[in-house]
A and B are shown apart, each in its own frame.
Chain A
Amino acid sequence: MDSPLRFRDDEPVADPAVTVDAFAAQTNATAVRIEPGDDARALLPHLARIALVEVEFNSFGDGRGYSSARILREHGYTGELRAVGEVLLDQLSHLRRCGFDSFAPQAPIDRAAAERAFATWPQVYQKTVDGRTPIWALRHG
């Protein structure tokens, strides 16, 4: 696989990602992979030692990964959050809004196209975890 598209400045994590079930037992693991059916909240006790979370999209139509990502960010996770699998260009802006900052799509997407996708929305209606100021806050300064 091509190296992931990363939008963060730190060094990539070299460790292989382990499953959510294995992660709790492997106290030296720093990278974990969330499958669509996994409960992201199971990772909350371990956030301090996690440097990379991969969220698997088996199908682009399965939106559970968006909630998983947002939950992790809402609880203060600051490490790398990577969308893996069937990740398509037209999903990137929403994925970014839910806290993903790294992408490993099955079919490669080039960096310039990804950056254009992030810029799809001039403003946003919702407060999420990407730090963007929602329109309602802009209206009421």
Chain B
Amino acid sequence: MYKYDTYDQAMVDARVAEFRDQTARRMAGDLTEDQFKPLRLKNGLYLQLHAYMLRVAVPYGTLSGTQMRMLGRIADKYDRGYGHFTTRQNIQYNWIKLDEAPDILADLATVEMHAIQTSGNCIRNISSDHYAGAAADELVDPRPYAELLRQWSSFHPEFDYLPRKFKIAVIASETDRAAMKLHDIGIRIVRNETGELGAAFYVGGGMGRTPMIAPLVRGFVPLDQLIHYAEACLRVYNRYGRRDNKYKARIKILVHELGLAEYTRQVEEEFAQMSALGLEPPTAELDRIAGMFADPAFETGLSDQIDRSDPDFAVWLDQNTHAHKITGYAIATISLKPLGGIPGDASAEQIAVMADLAERYSFDECRVTHAQNIVLPHVRKADLFAVWQALDAAGLASANLDLVSDIIACPGLDYCSLANARSIPVAQKIAQRFSDLGRQRELGELKLKISGCINACGHHHAGHIGVLGVDRKGTENYQLLLGGSEGADTSLGKITGPGFDEDGIVDAIEKATDVYLARRDSGERFLDTYRRIGVEPFKEAIYG
């Protein structure tokens, strides 16, 4: 894992001091709310329906046990005992007091954490593959590149007042577990014909009200030009992205309006000019960072045997663990989607349990996934039963990874000032309807995503089944989308037809799954069947 040196620590400490001063000036009336708003947003502090919400950055989703434990302590000390893990691999606290926010940032800084640029019209926290460093299919660990980009984007003086927010994801495997092409910039680390590593840049993807899949702008950027290529992409956007309409201000609209060829031409021109300026950190810096992401001391010669005699454990094992690159190890996912729970929520006590397990069984490391779960990336297979027992005792052993109840949902109208409809109760009703785990397993992989408004924080466009909450003449109404995907085969879901009320949407989803069960070919997932037979049979069943 990356460790701060004195420079990194000094920067984060300076940020805490700056924000403490800004907060004091706001409370003294020296800053207007309009002036203070972008400053607090750049420290992750939103004013929501009931209180301030603080979003803490988890760079590329990676946490040590100590960091995880601190997140639990903050939930306990400053919130109502809960934290909410988000689709950007971050964590949010929903009940924060403004005057305590600087103290929280100071507490975070003691464990090399912060809330820098987790909101606002700037470069946001860099996300990555939650199986990085553990997955069998990755070319290299993508996180060193994400860390290099994190440092470059932190307090970048030119890009602090962009037209709109800017999200970057970095992956290094064929399987895309980070929805890379649905980011403003998606980077895939690739190897060229001569065996050198480089970065493929996809620019202009995103969800929101105008979902777009990012097109490839450059297939191979040499790694010693990564930073200033990103800088060129950003500068063209900062200069020419639309500022007249908030809803057309994301880079996807610029790329779309200019056309891919013209946007690319402008980036290449800017890039050529920047190449002489010495903006790029030396490769020694990338090497320094990469050294901190070296494999932990894996044991060799371990057995792959696992005692499956406990049937509940066996179900969890089959559903929530994933192949590791090293024999005798597994990647274990802790589901934060218990029946009746709030997707992504964990109590302070549960966070502490997960911190302990990371320390004891996973080389002091855990990950936040964009599906709002937690990963223990490096668990000995021989330890999985003990891990499962500890999870089970803490209410964390739901064996539903990637099943219909593993729902992504935004906070919705229960918390969010932008939302038009509630998301959480809908997620709970759907999970309740499909509560039988055997039935869920029969349905297989089924990614269900719910957003409470068109901003799409719940990624509804990318769900095999998506639900979008809208406000229709003052009542909550839910639209159904089918056929979205965020993987290597990224696609955007399509709205099936008129929306439903809260119970109606649950019925409609159940009917869609019935169509799947009736029409599937052997080995097909819900998404595969949908792609093969099209939307019509689903529409007939739902509206017929």
Contacts and interface: CB of A to CB of B under 8 A. Distances in A.
Interface of A: 36, 39, 60-64, 66-68, 70, 74, 88, 90, 93-95, 97-98, 120-128, 134-140
Contacts of B35: 60, 88, 90
Contacts of B543: none
B160 A140 contact: no
A124 B8 CA distance: 10
* Size bracket of the B interface: 35 or more
B363 interface: no
A123 to B, nearest CB: 6
B238 interface: yes
Contacts of A94: 155, 157-158, 160
A139 B151 contact: no
29 contacts: A36-B243, A60-B35, A63-B121, A63-B158, A63-B160, A66-B160, A66-B161, A66-B238, A67-B238, A70-B158, A74-B274, A74-B277, A90-B35, A94-B158, A94-B160, A120-B14, A121-B14, A123-B10, A125-B151, A126-B152, A134-B281, A135-B151, A136-B151, A136-B281, A136-B282, A136-B285, A137-B281, A139-B285, A139-B288
A122 B11 contact: yes
B121 A61 contact: yes
Contacts of A39: 239
Rank and list the top 3 A-B pairs by shortest CB-CB distance, nearest first: A63-B161, A97-B157, A94-B157
Contact of A61 (B161, B277, B282, B288): B161
Given A120-B18, A123-B11, A140-B285, A64 B156 contact: no
A93 B11 CA distance: 14
B245 interface: no
A74 B273 contact: yes
A128 B158 CA distance: 9
Given A74-B273, A125-B154, 16 more contacts: A63-B238, A66-B159, A70-B158, A74-B274, A74-B277, A94-B155, A120-B14, A120-B18, A121-B14, A125-B155, A126-B156, A126-B279, A135-B11, A136-B151, A136-B281, A138-B7
Interface in B272-289: 273-274, 277-279, 281-282, 284-285, 288
B155 A121 contact: yes
B282 A140 contact: yes
Contacts of B38: 60-61
B162 A63 contact: yes
Contacts of B5: 139
A96 to B, nearest CB: 8
Nearest to A140: B284
Nearest to B5: A139
A58 to B, nearest CB: 10
Contacts of A93: 157
Nearest to B122: A63
B535 interface: no
Nearest to B236: A67
B314 interface: no
Nearest to A130: B157
B438 to A, nearest CB: 52
The secondary structure that dominates the B interface is helix
A35 B120 CA distance: 24
B39 interface: yes
B494 interface: no
B22 interface: yes
A66 B154 CA distance: 16
A67 B285 contact: no
A42 to B, nearest CB: 13
Contacts of B11: 121-123, 125, 135
Contact of A125 (B152, B282, B288): B152
A74 B285 CA distance: 24
A127 B238 contact: no
A17 B282 CA distance: 41
Contacts of B160: 63, 66, 94
Nearest to B227: A126
B235 interface: yes
A62 B282 contact: no
A127 B235 contact: no
A123 B281 CA distance: 15
A103 to B, nearest CB: 15
Interface string B113-155: 0000000010000000000000000000000000000011011
